[in-house]
Amino acid sequence: MKKFHILTIFPEFFEGFANTGIVSKAIKKGLVYLNTVNLRDYTADKHRTVDDVVYGGGPGMLLKPEPIFAAYEEISKEKKPYVLITEPWGRKFDQKFAWELSEKDEIMIICGRYEGVDERVKAIVDQEVSIGDFVLSGGEPAALVIMDAVIRLIPGVVGDEDSLRVDSFSDGLVGYPNYTRPPVFKGMEVPQILRSGNHKLIELWRRWKQIENTYKKRPDLLKKAELSEKEIKILHYIKKGKEFEDFISDNKV
Ligand code: 6GU
């Protein structure tokens, strides 16, 4: 079972997430345990203060270190978790990072506030993490994004494990287009190849579309993708503006 410990001043933020869809099923199956920790429960004063003014002056309030350390120390008594803190400048969260986190048994995510967190908290942090180059008012939406991406990688969570294998990004490329019924909708037709029953050809067409979509939508990904000789050939065709049908007839597929 994978455990997430989420340190937050807004535990209610995670209720809808924990009670919906795949995540809710994973929790009910006992594959995931979601421990949302209210930092106010680890304060010592009457007002349950979690933040304070900045030494040296400046705007905003910072999360105090004591409640965060107190929560961390209690959690660590059982097992030391891998500790993340949400920061706009942290390591960019991506599919590779999600796979890495799926290997950890216990993950703690400290949800920062945009004004910041007392720097001494970094003493317990293994990795600062960001979900992109933009500023959130708090780390809660980021923690939710991270958990969702990691939870679906846990064996037994997603019904059809094949779907993980064909995920966009699983091989560094954008996904291929999919269609369901009806075969013609508002004059738009499902590509004939997908209805041909020729599985070898369908597989090749899907690969073509993945390479084409990556070239058109995310050319930055192509630099890192490890393409086979055949796939490099496909890319050459696409760059020259040729069609899938040209590739088929030129290469006697
Ligand atoms: Cl992880 N936290 C905050 N506060 N802002 C962000 C972020 C995280 N990722 C992108 N923007």
The CATH number of the domain holding residue 207 is: 1.10.1270.20
CB-ligand 1 contact for 139 (6 Å cutoff): yes
Quote the strand ranges of 9-124, DSSP E.
Answer: 32-38, 51-53, 61-63, 82-92, 106-110
Paired with 188 in beta bridges are: 185
Distance 107 CA to ligand 1 centre (A): 18
- In short, whether 140's Cβ falls inside 6 Å of ligand 1 is no
Mapped onto helix, strand or coil, the DSSP state of residue 8 is: strand
In this structure, the answer to whether residues 58 and 174 fall within a common structural domain is no
7 with 129, same domain?
yes
Task: Tell which one of 7, 87, 109 to mutate to probe ligand 1, the residue whose CB is within 8 A of the most ligand atoms.
Answer: 87
Asked if residue 145 has its Cβ within 6 Å of ligand 1, the reply is: no
Count CB-CB contacts under 10 A for residue 103.
10
Count of other CB atoms within 10 angstroms of residue 211: 22
Closest CA to 40 of 7, 78, 84: 7
* pLDDT of amino acid 159: 83
- Return the active site residues: 88, 115, 152, 167
Any domain includes 158 = no
What's the pLDDT at 163? Answer: 75
- For residue 160, tell me if it sits in a domain: no
Q: Is 89 in the pocket of ligand 1 (CB under 6 A)?
A: no
pLDDT tens-place values along the chain, 253 residues long: 999 999 999 999 999 999 999 999 999 999 999 999 999 999 999 999 999 999 999 999 999 999 999 999 999 999 999 999 999 999 999 999 999 999 999 999 999 987 899 999 999 999 999 999 999 999 999 999 999 999 999 999 998 777 776 676 778 899 999 999 999 999 999 999 999 999 999 999 999 999 999 999 999 999 999 999 999 999 999 999 999 999 999 998 8
Same structural domain, 39 and 124: yes
Q: How far is the CA of 136 from the centre of ligand 1 (A)?
A: 5
> Ligand 1 centroid to 140 CA: how many Å?
9
Domain count, the chain: 2
Q: Is the CB of 136 under 6 A from ligand 1?
A: yes
pTM for this model (two decimals): 0.92
Say whether both 141 and 228 belong to one domain.
Answer: no
